[in-house]
Structure 1
């Protein structure tokens, strides 16, 4: 089934039923009977979209025949995986145009493939949409319309616009490619109805068949070469159970449900452009109300998979912790890595509904995120545990003491933290290697110190003796160093960095993902953080000064280290999650 952007959710609202069908439409009762909802009439005049309700961007795009107050868009995720940032773009753009024209947004689960779909994915999609600030005016399900689509298929068969075909899959694919008519194309209406009933009953012979639209055999647009519109599937559906044994394809379902739900403008990614002709053919063949199509480009990132099938493979192989793995491009994955909802929305809406296909570097989206977190992220201190260097400070306090300091010097509203001052402090080996005896340095948020003796074993610094010089001028020192009091309150931490899951910028259709798996994608750096780490909660975003931004993934407890995930800051030289050299 095609993936246009799909998700699944539990019955949050009573799903509305289709608006009244044309006189020629079938009238059989559906197994699921949602309430009726009137859709707007097609707009008669276009107009520039005003700003959205949130005062967001105005793309100055005139949707074809859009009328203010009557535009209806829809976001149709398939509940076969978790929401990723490509889906987020589609959802946000559909919401934008609905709000810009003071219209409605339908969230519709395209649940027509029971082999892939379940309630878990459905629920997660609704939750992630809510986090993104997206709430549909209506929540519906394609499964609400199974009976309606079944009856429309019978109508097409009776009108000679569809036929049953039991041609083996590989042969059918070959014939479509070569423009060869199926040997079953001229079956009579009676034969086609018989085999469709066999399919509906799930009989052995019925399972060999599918229903194909009778459009063209030689069209240059191969999507019009008698596409499959119905197929058998005996897997119980997560909403309708075993009621149905046949299901419509996405390309048959989508135009029918769009038209009946009152959708005026269907936003589709540019990959669907060839299939737009098929969408329009279905509407015309069934004499349904016209729906206007607006194409926009899919969002792509280098070395990133957005195929739910391939992401599922990583989950199944145990190569990631789940759909919320911080290396995944899912909404949950990037949020766990430290992406804020505001940063994600700002980036996606900033790209707009362009039709140009672009492969983005992750640095762009993380740079947008940095603008959100930098003004509010509390500043804290951490040192790397490996070969940590202890400086013994002459003139330092005889007994360690604590003082309250601002968490963010430029934003007092962030609050205060405790800083311990002691005569022994830890500094990073990386800093210590740059020191020279007799040099004066600045211990940030304390004062200056003069380095007297530097102890080494080979090239490794093992300790330093220094003298506190609080009268020293910090403006004259070359090195401003982060430090941590060497007390029992230095808190164990684990700083975790990530790299791409795959090694190739963009996988070709013929590439096997197994051949491009990056074997090393997680990097751990044990360290010590200041005592304030002990009070932090999962999800807190902070900055360890001179190290970067981090999100707390596992809180400190019973001596077990607090686990922090690095948040990329958008520097061009930094890959998404790549370990810094």
Structure 2
């Protein structure tokens, strides 16, 4: 059974107020001149809120996006928005945009945000997904004034459907699915469209009882047969499902569709403005028709473009397929566009929020490259990521340094030369050091190079086996001028404290920029998406904790996914920097 009632939800909405606008990373716009022609406009250039009649306008703070979208009849202090995820998968970045924008406008107008779970399909939904969505939203600083469930309103929705049937605005239909789809496409009326009210009510009861006859039927809105907008061609409003519901158990055997439930619950809960992605645009007239057919209060709709990325799936059904096929480790796989997936790859909450807000509520549909979001993230992590050193195992080269210390010693150096607050790290100095083979192959006999965080050295002899450098003899030259050397290289002292590391890079899960609706995802699976490079890192890496974000100098940014232990190497995931996606190519 539902653990809250519609009247309780309404009471919570009335009692709660948003008091901390900073939670969204934005503050309400200050009083100022609105755009010309607006009534009672607040906020001018540089303001935070959306434009609209009696509302606010300007550009989003620190985002560059234009939030002046003319939010119709938005009254300060009375705006209520909602974010209605279905608990059938984990939150992905497309959902995150919808959640952030709905919170943004609720707070900009000193209003309220409802988080409502659209739990109308028990076959796909469960508590795991529900709890994970709430956790991810909270991590992003998104917390609704009220958390509700469409299942709170199953009785209300049932009664409204009875009313629609009695008013002759809905009918029961047992047309087979494929035939129904074909008839809707061709504009052919169902043979069941003219059933009597009494017959429709009787069959709806059969559906509610889950009888054999009831299971053959669905309830369709009696809206239109030939409308140019095919979303209006008698859409399905109720269907049977005998799967127990994760909140209401076996009480119900019929469930409303999203298209029927959403407008009713929006209006019932006091939502004033429904901000949702443009994929629903053709269904907006259907949303409005439902409210008019029942006689409920109007809700204003604003649709914005969804976030689309090249070679990326945002369909929960297709993402679930990857999970079921064990092509990924789970919903938090670093190749997944879920909030948990991109965070595990190294995306920061700050970077994710700033990128989404930079897109704003525009209606323009774009297929974005991932480099844009990772470039935003780089700006967040670069000032705070400690610097360490790693050398790849693949043919690493030992340099023997004449004049180097007879006994290894260590010195404390800043973890970040531009951020002293990060503290210090230990650098070990020795007469034998390792460098990457790629660096060694660029060296020339007699060349002077700079060993970073140490000084210059002159390369006396470079030993080779074919094209592979097998060793180098050098002379330390601390009096040398680093400004005159062409090559500044990272290195590691050959001592027992070196830490084994596994540097992991990833490629896209699919090979096509954008899958068409008729495409079978199986045909576009990328067979090689995970690449490992073994290496060694400095002793400081042993102290890092899971989730720490660092930079291996001259290699890139990394997130520690599995800390070092005596039996396993430390596993680091590469964090794209907005420039290069693949840095290493050693296949798993």
TM-score > 0.5 by shorter chain? yes
Query: Using the alignment, how far apart are the partners of 1:143 and 1:239 within structure 2?
Result: 8
- 1:36 Cα deviation from its structure 2 partner: 4.1
Task: Please list, as runs of the form range in 1=range in 2, the aligned pairs for 1:389-428 lying within 5 A after superposition.
Answer: 389-428=397-436
Deviations 1:276-334 (A, max 9, x none): 00000000000000000001001000000000000000000010000000000000000
**Aligned residues of 1:454 and 1:463 also touching (Cα < 8 A):** yes
Aligned to 1:279: 287
Aligned to 1:94: 102
**Aligned residues of 1:553 and 1:563 also touching (Cα < 8 A):** yes
Aligned to 2:18: none
Task: Please list, as runs of the form range in 1=range in 2, the aligned pairs for 1:67-86 lying within 5 A after superposition.
Answer: 67-86=75-94
Aligned to 2:202: 194
Segments of 5+ residues of structure 2 without an aligned counterpart are 16-38, 41-51
Deviations 1:102-157 (A, max 9, x none): 10000000000000000000010000000111000110000000010000000011
Answer yes or no: is 1:363 the counterpart of 2:371. yes
- 1:454 Cα deviation from its structure 2 partner: 1.1
Query: Using the alignment, how far apart are the partners of 1:299 and 1:499 within structure 2?
Result: 20
Aligned to 2:355: 347
Distance verdict in 2 for CA 1:447–1:465, change over 3 Å: same
Deviations 1:79-113 (A, max 9, x none): 00000000000000000000111100000000000
- 1:16 Cα deviation from its structure 2 partner: 5.7
Deviations 1:66-87 (A, max 9, x none): 1010000000000000000000
Task: Please list, as runs of the form range in 1=range in 2, the aligned pairs for 1:368-387 lying within 5 A after superposition.
Answer: 368-387=376-395
Query: Using the alignment, how far apart are the partners of 2:241 and 2:306 within structure 1?
Result: 30
- Choose the corresponding residue for 2:53, options 27, 34, 46: 46
- Choose the corresponding residue for 2:339, options 331, 335, 353: 331
Aligned to 2:496: 488
Query: Using the alignment, how far apart are the partners of 1:15 and 1:359 within structure 2?
Result: 40
**Aligned residues of 1:108 and 1:141 also touching (Cα < 8 A):** yes
Aligned to 2:6: 17
**Aligned residues of 1:50 and 1:101 also touching (Cα < 8 A):** no
Distance verdict in 2 for CA 1:54–1:109, change over 3 Å: farther
Query: Using the alignment, how far apart are the partners of 2:358 and 2:534 within structure 1?
Result: 37
Q: Which moved more, 1:46-55 or 1:466-475?
A: 46-55
Answer yes or no: is 1:501 the counterpart of 2:509. yes
**Aligned residues of 2:400 and 2:431 also touching (Cα < 8 A):** yes
Aligned to 1:62: 70
- 1:37 Cα deviation from its structure 2 partner: 5.1
- Choose the corresponding residue for 1:445, options 426, 441, 453: 453
Aligned to 2:248: 240
The DSSP-based 3-state class of the residue aligned with 1:91 is helix
The DSSP-based 3-state class of the residue aligned with 1:551 is strand
Answer yes or no: is 1:252 the counterpart of 2:226. no
Aligned to 1:264: 272
Aligned to 1:30: none
- Choose the corresponding residue for 2:468, options 460, 463, 466: 460
Distance verdict in 2 for CA 1:188–1:285, change over 3 Å: same
Aligned to 2:120: 112
Task: Please list, as runs of the form range in 1=range in 2, the aligned pairs for 1:178-217 lying within 5 A after superposition.
Answer: 178-217=186-225
Answer yes or no: is 1:157 the counterpart of 2:165. yes
Segments of 5+ residues of structure 1 without an aligned counterpart are 1-9, 19-32
Aligned to 2:553: 545
Query: Using the alignment, how far apart are the partners of 1:303 and 1:224 within structure 2?
Result: 32
Aligned to 1:296: 304
Query: Using the alignment, how far apart are the partners of 2:126 and 2:61 within structure 1?
Result: 33
**Aligned residues of 1:17 and 1:37 also touching (Cα < 8 A):** no
The DSSP-based 3-state class of the residue aligned with 2:219 is strand
**Aligned residues of 1:449 and 1:469 also touching (Cα < 8 A):** yes
The DSSP-based 3-state class of the residue aligned with 1:205 is helix
Distance verdict in 2 for CA 1:76–1:239, change over 3 Å: same
**Aligned residues of 1:337 and 1:567 also touching (Cα < 8 A):** yes
- 1:271 Cα deviation from its structure 2 partner: 1.2
Q: Pairwise CA RMSD of aligned residues?
A: 2.0
Aligned to 1:570: 578
**Aligned residues of 1:47 and 1:62 also touching (Cα < 8 A):** no
**Aligned residues of 1:395 and 1:423 also touching (Cα < 8 A):** yes
Query: Using the alignment, how far apart are the partners of 2:467 and 2:230 within structure 1?
Result: 68
Given the two structures, how large is their TM-score scaled by the length of structure 1? Answer: 0.92
Query: Using the alignment, how far apart are the partners of 2:388 and 2:137 within structure 1?
Result: 32
Given the two structures, how large is their TM-score scaled by the length of structure 2? Answer: 0.91
**Aligned residues of 2:502 and 2:571 also touching (Cα < 8 A):** yes
The DSSP-based 3-state class of the residue aligned with 1:140 is strand
Aligned to 2:536: 528
Query: Using the alignment, how far apart are the partners of 1:359 and 1:181 within structure 2?
Result: 38
Answer yes or no: is 1:307 the counterpart of 2:306. no
Aligned to 2:441: 433
